[in-house]
């Protein structure tokens, strides 16, 4: 253990009219520092996770955190970007700085303002996180990318429409209990399974209920070293923090295996001395339901090609043997790109401290997090537990 989360702040995800990235950054930055019992002058460094990519005209955003307080002035502030894993990339940069003893208290903020663009431009902006030399012509943006993955998975392992609908229904049911979720509605299996006017096919076999939501949002955490955390009101320790990156072109790998995900989990288990069975829950990257299905296999819950078994037999339900996405995941909570990974760390921290309210998994003590950028290109795993 090299660092702890000692404070956090989380805006509800959704469409924030009249807000931009700056205004959301200011809110969560100030509130997270206060939640940790600190003041801005106590912070040694700042990392901002912000994908942007054209969602907003303002770029070069790291120092916008300073708009929260003049006392941040002259502290090192760095923007971090790694596609949909941007938030976790910023968190892990904070951990690295603390482990190197370059800082004791680090503020990490994740933010994205997505809804100001028209839908077609949102898809084009997101698709820039794929390998454009080969994948630019895919219809439907990233939904089209994951539709191709779903079609290939169906060809290799059989039609998985039932499994995808069960995953969507599970996550929407869980999202009802999450006060930060963009969609707090239990849609039910039948709605998620059957195409309709309200749930049309978006790309290939993927329906609207198979795709995460376009969102605005921000979240922030304060990290400290272990010695400092021992004197704080709350402290959630990192048992592991692992990062594995894979080739950007899907053509250079077996895209149905998510091998970068497997590598990151293996590194995290090696660091922590834990195994998957030790975890109380996992918050995983369900940008599309097919991603969660493959992640069941990549994390080692089931063998390759048997992801459907985990959801069909109830293993990943909130009361199952390994609850997955008790927060509702990206599917219900929303997916503001730069904020997602930071949000996942907050959801997991609330769980292991027994402070997750109606989302709470009974007896949760160890929480795993998997956040990925692109189609399993940037892969981050964290494992959290309460310090005391």
Q: Is 126 a member of any domain? A: no
Q: Is the pLDDT of residue 270 over 90?
A: yes
296 lies in a domain?
no
pLDDT, tens digit, 9 for 90 and up, residues 210-236: 999 999 999 999 999 999 999 999 999
Closest CA to 109 of 84, 76, 80, 82: 80
Catalytic residue among 84, 211, 261, 287: 84
72 to 113, 212, 345: CA distances (angstroms): 23, 34, 23
The pair of structure tokens assigned to 299 is 């994390």
Does residue 1 register a pLDDT over 80?
Answer: no
Asked, for residue 316, whether it belongs to a domain, the answer is no
DSSP state of 40: G
For the question of whether the overall pTM of this predicted structure is more than 0.75, the answer is yes
Report if residue 51 sits inside a domain.
yes
Whether 84 is a known active-site residue: answer: yes
341 within a domain of the structure (yes/no): no
Active site residue 285: no
Q: Which residues are within 8 A (CB) of 357 and not within 5 positions of it... i.e. 6 or more apart?
A: 177, 179, 350
Number of Cβ atoms within 10 Å of the Cβ of 158: 11
Q: Report if residue 83 sits inside a domain.
A: yes
pLDDT band at 140 (very low <50, low <70, confident <90, very high): confident
Partners of 222 in the β-ladder: 7, 107
For the chain, how many structural domains are there in total? 1
Rounded distance, CA 360 to CA 68, Å? 32
Cα 30 from chain centroid?
22
Q: What is the mean pLDDT of residues 186-195?
A: 98
Look at residue 209 and tell me if it is in a domain: no
Q: What is the pLDDT of residues 111-132, one digit of tens each?
A: 999 999 999 999 999 999 999 9
Burial class (CB in 10 A: 0-12, 13-18, 19+), 374: buried
Taking the alpha carbons of 51, 83, 128, 76 in that order, is the dihedral positive or negative?
Answer: positive
Confidence of residue 139 (pLDDT cuts 50, 70, 90): confident
Q: What average pLDDT does the structure give for the chain?
A: 97
User: With 90 as the cut, is the pLDDT of residue 388 above it?
Assistant: no
Q: Is residue 57 assigned to a domain? A: yes
pLDDT of residue 132: 97
> Residue 141: pLDDT band by 50, 70, 90 thresholds?
confident
Q: Comparing C-alpha atoms, which of 243, 278, 239, 280 is closest to residue 383?
A: 239
| Domain extent for 14 | 3-117+214-229
In angstroms, the CA 241 to CA 369 distance is 9
State which H helix or E strand residue 86 sits in: helix 86-99
Can you give the pLDDT at residue 30?
Answer: 98
The CATH number linked to 39 is: 3.40.47.10
9 secondary structure, DSSP code:
E
């Amino acid at each position: 253990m090299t660092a702890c989360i000692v404070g956090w702040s989380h805006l509800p995800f959704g469409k924030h009219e009249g807000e931009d990235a700056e205004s959301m950054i200011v809110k969560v930055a100030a509130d997270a520092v206060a939640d940790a019992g600190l003041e801005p002058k106590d912070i040694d460094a700042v990392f901002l996770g912000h994908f942007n990519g054209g969602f907003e005209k303002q770029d070069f955003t790291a120092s916008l955190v300073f708009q929260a307080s003049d006392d941040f002035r002259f502290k090192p502030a760095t923007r971090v970007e790694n596609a949909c894993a941007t938030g976790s990339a910023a968190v892990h940069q904070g951990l690295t700085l603390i482990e190197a003893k370059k800082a004791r208290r680090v503020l990490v903020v994740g933010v994205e303002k997505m809804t100001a663009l028209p839908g077609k431009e949102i898809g084009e902006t997101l698709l820039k996180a794929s390998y454009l030399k080969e994948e630019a012509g895919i219809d439907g943006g990233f939904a089209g990318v994951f539709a191709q993955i779903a079609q290939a998975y169906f060809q290799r392992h059989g039609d998985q429409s039932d499994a995808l609908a069960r995953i969507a229904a599970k996550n929407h049911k869980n999202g009802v209990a999450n006060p930060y979720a963009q969609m707090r509605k239990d849609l039910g299996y039948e709605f998620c399974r059957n195409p309709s006017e309200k749930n049309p096919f978006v790309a290939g076999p993927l329906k609207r209920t198979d795709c995460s939501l376009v969102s605005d949002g921000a979240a922030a955490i304060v990290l400290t070293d272990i010695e400092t955390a021992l004197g704080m009101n709350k402290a959630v320790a990192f048992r592991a923090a692992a990062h594995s990156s894979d080739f950007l072109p899907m053509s250079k790998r077996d895209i149905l295996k998510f091998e970068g995900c497997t590598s990151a989990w293996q590194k995290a288990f090696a660091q922590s001395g834990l195994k998957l069975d030790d975890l109380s829950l996992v918050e995983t990257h369900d940008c599309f339901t097919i991603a969660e299905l493959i992640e069941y296999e990549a994390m080692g819950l089931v063998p390759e090609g048997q992801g459907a078994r985990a959801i069909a037999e109830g293993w990943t339900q909130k009361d199952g043997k390994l609850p997955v996405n008790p927060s509702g995941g990206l599917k219900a909570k929303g997916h503001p790109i730069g904020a997602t990974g930071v949000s996942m760390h907050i959801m997991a921290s609330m769980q292991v401290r027994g402070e997750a309210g109606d989302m709470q998994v009974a007896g949760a003590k160890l929480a795993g997090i998997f956040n990925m950028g692109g189609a399993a290109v940037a892969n981050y795993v964290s494992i959290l537990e309460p310090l005391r």
